[in-house]
Amino acid sequence: NNNYFRPTKAIIDLEAIRNNVRRLKEYLKPGVQIIAVVKANAYGHGDVEVAGAAIQSGATMLAVATPDEALHLRQYFHDIDILVLGYAPVSFAPYAASENIILTVYSSDWVEQVNTLALSQPIKVHIKIDTGMGRIGVKRIGDFHNLYQQINSSSNLLVDGVFTHFATADEEDSQYFDYQAAKFEEFISSLPEKPRLVHAANTAAMLMKDPSVYYDAVRFGISMYGLAPSTYVKTKLPFPLEPAFSLETELIEVKKIQPGESVGYGAAFTAEEPSYIGTIPIGYADGIIRKYSGQQVLIDGIRVPIIGRICMDQCMILLPSAYNIGEKVILIGKQKNEEITIDEWATKADTINYEVPCIITARVPRIY
Ligand SMILES: Cc1ncc(COP(=O)(O)O)c(CNc2conc2O)c1O
């Protein structure tokens, strides 16, 4: 959509998404399915567009975090399996049945409550096992078997899968990962018959660990967007990743200030020499949080810092010389022979790369 007037926009490269999925598909053993993790608006990249690109390149299933994300995607993709990885209230069960949404189950009480409903058709569920993530999931093998039986004897539910999630697959020390993987294997091998889909691997596990953890499908998130799960994994990638997210805007004001003149809230920046200051229309209400102050951006392929305090809707940069209003400014992406990466922004705010695109708010249009 081009009917927005502020020059600030995120540009999403869907060919990069397709290439990342294609390369993973070539890397995996044949027969292992790719579940595209498109939760949180596809980590801020646009869930409908990313889901379409991932499916074009071989993903056979979508995974989201919430029931609402699943309903949104079902409006655009009528047939593909959609799994809600997180909690879904019993009140969602009728919609899961009618819209054919797969739910995650780990609670016997939840099953009891769903059994009281009259559903249009049975709901497919994946049983979540907590092997050490400590978030949601069944922890004891006896409870797992009881839940499995309880679901199998329900006319409202069908076991379609079983899965777990790893807490430390992106770390060099594999001890905790090995503990989780062994526990999951113990649960799975104790089943008299296997469900359609057994899955466990997130990006770090599918890129770093033994193929035995692939099972029937892998849940591809962060590296589908061209980002490495951790700095450790970034040094050991089995194939190249293509970043899909860039963020740009334009100068909307340029001024020259003299030594002693200040910029921004708190007059937090004061010039020590004659300086050119640029104002750009992006601020913390766009997800450029105040902690990012000092981060460099690109103008004319030159790295320049954000100075002073980031405002809600604008921030100021220290220009190397006079520039015209309308000059392009790259916050994330390449310009001439320079590049500012998401990893750089994550480091600046002492966070992880996952968070950076996720918190770029809806006020920033995503352009494909
Ligand atoms: C259950 C589950 N499976 C797969 C993934 C994909 O992981 P990846 O992006 O590393 O491939 C996630 C991501 N969950 C989260 C990512 O950041 N915080 C989270 O809770 C997840 O929660």
**352 alpha carbon – ligand 1 mean position (Å):** 13
Report the catalytic residues.
39, 265
Out of 38, 106, 202, 213, mutate this one to test ligand 1's pocket (max ligand atoms within 8 Å of CB): namely 202
Q: Which two tokens stand for residue 266?
A: 């708190």
Q: Rounded to an integer, what distance in angstroms lies between the CA atom of residue 295 and that of residue 286?
A: 16
Q: Which stretches of the chain score pLDDT less than 50?
A: none
Residue nearest to atom 13 of ligand 1 (CA): 221
The pLDDT tens digits for 60-99 are: 999 999 999 999 999 999 999 999 999 999 999 999 999 9
**How far is the centre of ligand 1, averaged over its atoms, from the C-alpha of 10 (Å)?**
22
What would the two tokens of residue 324 be?
């015209």
pLDDT of residue 305: 98
What's the gap in Å between 191 CA and the centre of ligand 1? 26
Residues with CB under 6 A from ligand 1: 37, 85, 165, 202-204, 219-222, 229, 354
Q: Quick: pLDDT tens for 102-126.
A: 999 999 999 999 999 999 999 999 9
As a whole number of angstroms, the distance between CA 285 and CA 111 comes to: 41
Q: What is the pLDDT of residue 2?
A: 63
pLDDT on residue 215 = 98
